[in-house]
């Protein structure tokens, strides 16, 4: 259907050669599905991690006691990053760092993860996934484009090239205060176009799904929020790769529109 | 000197923060690593100086030639990755396959383009590997985490691809 190659490039000297191994064709819908499926997956993983953590920390109190006597199987517990204290503290911190990276920091804290914390962990997971994708994708699509010389150029590149590649359309509106803050508005943000609110009263059976995706009022816009974490991370990754350190905040004020606020480091409000 | 043709002596991949990501020497046993590190370092300022005059192209062409034999060519991606190829004008003996033109005339900038394109493809392929984290290879992250040791690329596939590019390239080769 569409490839990663921008269809406007017809010049044989700029378009990738047939031997370019990165020019593979993928069904366009797969990205849509992926963006939708990512969110429940992130929730599941966070939940699983929290459960496992609970198991580990309840189990580790016994094993830790055994360690004081034997101190042989320290490495096994170290990976858990749980509440092993005393003799094996140094090993615990070292093991947690290498095993599961920064994510444990958000996921471990308590055995019973409350909603706020779960939200944070999911946000962190999705955002960093998007960040990594952004880093890679920009390397690929910027290979035949002119070098952006100013930050505004870079943002425009994002609005046009990246958005066309990912969502088959350009950003609808770009506002800037010329001091490092950019607001991108997409009136029909593709991942949100399939979403709809139930106008009837929500059946009780669906309450589980509601709490899974952020809780609260089933018709609240907060339920959309998790689906914007990944695109926000993607933007941040792209900018970082092009040399702009920034924080990106995404929000939805009404389906299917989305706004992304980009605040570059050192920006003045 | 006749009977010898240009070949790639060294390929350097330099990161956004002017950190060496990868340096390969060809043939490795005959080249002094330190000497080529100096050569690569001496190119970085040339990139900086030429950057304002290069709004569109990623190819920086000939950066400098240090003596009769060694010449350095550069390429800067939009993401700030620098590729530097050091060409040894008398790198290897000519074989029957080499055309007369290749040995007689010097190199043109365009001769290096296929090699740079192949390098860039190799780097993109590296970034497509989900287990490669670019931030792990940045000195900024390494310093903030107090990590010691090299931040160079360790991917064997990438190293092999770089070696393949260096081996395949010769003046006049259009696809690598």
Q: Which residues of A touch B16 (CB under 8 A)?
A: 243
Q: Which of B116, B127, B132, B149 should one mutate to test binding to chain A, selecting the residue with the greatest count of A CBs within 10 A?
A: B127
Determine contact: B133 vs chain A, CB below 8 A. Answer: yes
CB atoms under 10 Å from CB of A233, counted, come to 24
pLDDT higher for A159 or B52?
Answer: A159
Query: Torsion over CA of A59, A62, A63 and A64, rounded to 10 degrees?
Result: 110
What chain B residue is nearest to A136 in terms of C-alpha separation? B127
CA distances from B151 to A230, B20, B65, B74, B141 (A): 27, 8, 29, 22, 10
CB atoms under 10 Å from CB of B164, counted, come to 13
Q: Which of A132, A148, A243 sits opposite B133 (nearest CB)?
A: A132
Smallest CA–CA distance, residue A235 to chain B, in Å, is 14
The answer to whether residues A263 and B100 touch, using CB atoms and an 8 Å cutoff, is no
Q: Is the peptide bond before A256 cis (omega within 30 degrees of 0)?
A: yes
CATH of the domain at B105: 3.30.450.70
Overall domain count for chain B: 1
Using the beta-carbon criterion (under 8 Å), do B55 and A19 form an inter-chain contact? Answer: no
Query: Per-residue pLDDT tens for B10-23?
Result: 999 999 999 999 99
For CA atoms B44, B46, B52, B55, the dihedral sign is negative
Interatomic CA distance for residues A23 and A13, integer angstroms: 15
Using the beta-carbon criterion (under 8 Å), do B55 and A147 form an inter-chain contact? Answer: yes
Q: Kindly give the pairing relationship between strand A181-186 and strand A173-176.
A: antiparallel
Determine contact: A136 vs chain B, CB below 8 A. Answer: yes
Interface subset of B 87-126, CB within 8 angstroms of A: 120-121, 123-125
List of residues 6+ apart from B7 with CB closer than 8 A: B26, B87, B88, B91, B92, B166, B169, B170
The pLDDT averaged over each successive group of 10 residues in chain A (269 residues) is: 40 44 74 87 89 83 49 39 37 38 43 70 90 91 86 90 88 89 90 72 49 52 84 93 90 84 82
Amino acid B105: pLDDT: 62
Smallest CA–CA distance, residue B127 to chain A, in Å, is 5
Q: Kindly give the pairing relationship between strand B59-65 and strand B20-25.
A: unpaired
Mean pLDDT, all residues of chain B: 86
For CA atoms A187, A268, A119, A37, the dihedral sign is positive
Using the beta-carbon criterion (under 8 Å), do A22 and B125 form an inter-chain contact? Answer: yes
Amino acid A53: pLDDT: 86
Smallest CA–CA distance, residue A240 to chain B, in Å, is 9
Q: Which of B58, B128, B175 sits opposite A19 (nearest CB)?
A: B175
Q: Which residues of A touch B55 (CB under 8 A)?
A: 146-147, 149
CA distances from A235 to A2, A16, A21, A162, B93 (A): 21, 24, 25, 9, 50
Classify A257 as helix, strand or coil. Answer: strand
Any idea where the domains of chain A sit in the sequence? Answer: 27-113, 115-269
For CA atoms B137, A241, A118, A211, the dihedral sign is negative
Q: List strand residue ranges (DSSP E) for chain A, in order.
A: 2-3, 25-26, 173-176, 181-186, 246-254, 257-264
Using the beta-carbon criterion (under 8 Å), do B79 and A146 form an inter-chain contact? Answer: no
φ/ψ of A250, rounded to 5, equals -115, 140
- In a domain? residue B176: no
Q: Which of A142, A146, A242 sits opposite B56 (nearest CB)?
A: A146
Amino acid A146: pLDDT: 85
The secondary structure of chain A in percent helix, strand, coil, rounded to multiples of 5, reads 55, 10, 35
- In a domain? residue B174: no
CB atoms under 10 Å from CB of A260, counted, come to 23
The answer to whether residues A115 and A95 touch, using CB atoms and an 8 Å cutoff, is no
pLDDT higher for B93 or A16?
Answer: B93
Determine contact: A266 vs chain B, CB below 8 A. Answer: no
Q: Which of B50, B123, B124 should one mutate to test binding to chain A, selecting the residue with the greatest count of A CBs within 10 A?
A: B124
Q: Which of B58, B79, B175 sits opposite A139 (nearest CB)?
A: B79
Q: Which of A21, A23, A26, A139 should one mutate to test binding to chain B, selecting the residue with the greatest count of B CBs within 10 A?
A: A139
Q: Which of B52, B78, B153 should one mutate to test binding to chain A, selecting the residue with the greatest count of A CBs within 10 A?
A: B78
The closest of A193, A211, A161 to A47, measured between CA atoms, is A211
CA distances from B7 to A5, A154, A188 (A): 33, 37, 53
The answer to whether residues B59 and B116 touch, using CB atoms and an 8 Å cutoff, is yes
Alpha helices for A142-221 (secondary structure H) = 151-157, 163-167, 207-212
What chain B residue is nearest to A97 in terms of C-alpha separation? B145
Amino acid B93: pLDDT: 80
Domain that holds residue B157: 4-168
Amino acid B2: pLDDT: 58
Amino acid A17: pLDDT: 46
- In a domain? residue B97: yes
Amino acid B102: pLDDT: 53
The closest of B72, B71, B84 to B18, measured between CA atoms, is B84
Interatomic CA distance for residues B140 and B135, integer angstroms: 8
Amino acid A114: pLDDT: 72
Amino acid A54: pLDDT: 86
- Class level of CATH domain A115-269: alpha beta
Query: Per-residue pLDDT tens for B120-172?
Result: 999 999 998 889 988 888 888 888 888 887 888 889 999 999 999 999 988 87
Q: Which residues of A touch B58 (CB under 8 A)?
A: 143, 147
Determine contact: A149 vs chain B, CB below 8 A. Answer: yes
What chain B residue is nearest to A140 in terms of C-alpha separation? B124
- What's the angle, vertex CA A120, arms to CA A117 and CA A124, rounded to 5? 145
Mean pLDDT of B69-83: 91
């Amino acid at each position: 259907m569409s490839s990663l190659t921008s269809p406007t490039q017809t010049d044989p000297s700029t378009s990738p050669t047939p031997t370019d191994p990165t020019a593979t064709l993928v069904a366009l819908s797969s990205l849509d599905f992926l963006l939708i499926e990512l969110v429940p997956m992130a929730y599941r993983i966070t939940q699983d991690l929290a459960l496992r953590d609970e198991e580990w920390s309840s189990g580790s109190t016994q094993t830790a006691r055994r360690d004081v006597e034997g101190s042989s199987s320290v490495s096994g517990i170290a990976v858990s990053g749980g509440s092993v204290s005393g003799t094996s503290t140094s090993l615990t911190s070292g093991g947690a760092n290498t095993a599961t990276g920064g994510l444990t920091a958000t996921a471990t804290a308590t055995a019973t993860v409350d909603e706020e914390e779960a939200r944070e962990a999911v946000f962190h997971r999705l955002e960093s996934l998007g960040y990594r994708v952004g880093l890679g994708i920009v390397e690929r699509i910027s290979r035949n484009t002119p070098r952006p010389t100013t930050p505004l150029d870079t943002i425009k590149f994002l609005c046009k090239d990246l958005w066309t590649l990912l969502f088959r359309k350009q950003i609808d509106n770009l506002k800037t205060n010329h001091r490092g803050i950019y607001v991108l508005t997409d009136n029909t943000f593709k991942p949100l176009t399939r979403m709809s609110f139930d106008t009837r009263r929500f059946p009780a059976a669906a309450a589980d799904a509601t709490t899974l995706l952020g809780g609260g009022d089933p018709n609240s816009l907060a339920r959309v929020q998790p689906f914007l974490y990944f695109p926000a991370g993607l933007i941040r990754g792209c900018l970082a790769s092009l040399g702009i350190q920034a924080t990106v905040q995404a929000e939805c004020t009404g389906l299917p529109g989305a706004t992304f606020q980009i605040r570059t480091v050192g920006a003045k409000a | 000197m006749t009977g010898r043709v240009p070949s790639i002596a060294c390929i350097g991949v330099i990161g956004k923060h002017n950190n060496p990501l990868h340096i390969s020497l060809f043939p490795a046993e005959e080249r002094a690593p330190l000497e080529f590190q100096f050569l690569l370092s001496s190119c970085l300022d040339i990139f900086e100086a030429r950057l304002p005059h290069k709004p569109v192209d990623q190819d920086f062409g000939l950066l400098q030639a240090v003596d009769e034999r060694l010449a350095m060519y550069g390429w800067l991606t939009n993401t700030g990755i620098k590729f530097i190829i050091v060409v040894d004008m008398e790198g290897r003996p000519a074989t029957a396959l080499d055309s007369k033109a290749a040995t007689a005339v010097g190199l043109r900038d365009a001769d290096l383009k296929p090699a740079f394109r192949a390098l860039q493809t190799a780097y993109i392929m590296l970034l497509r590997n989900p287990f490669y984290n670019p931030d792990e290879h940045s000195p900024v992250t390494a310093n903030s985490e107090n990590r010691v040791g090299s931040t160079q690329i360790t991917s064997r596939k990438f190293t092999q691809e770089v070696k393949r590019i260096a081996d395949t390239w010769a003046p006049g080769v259009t696809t690598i």
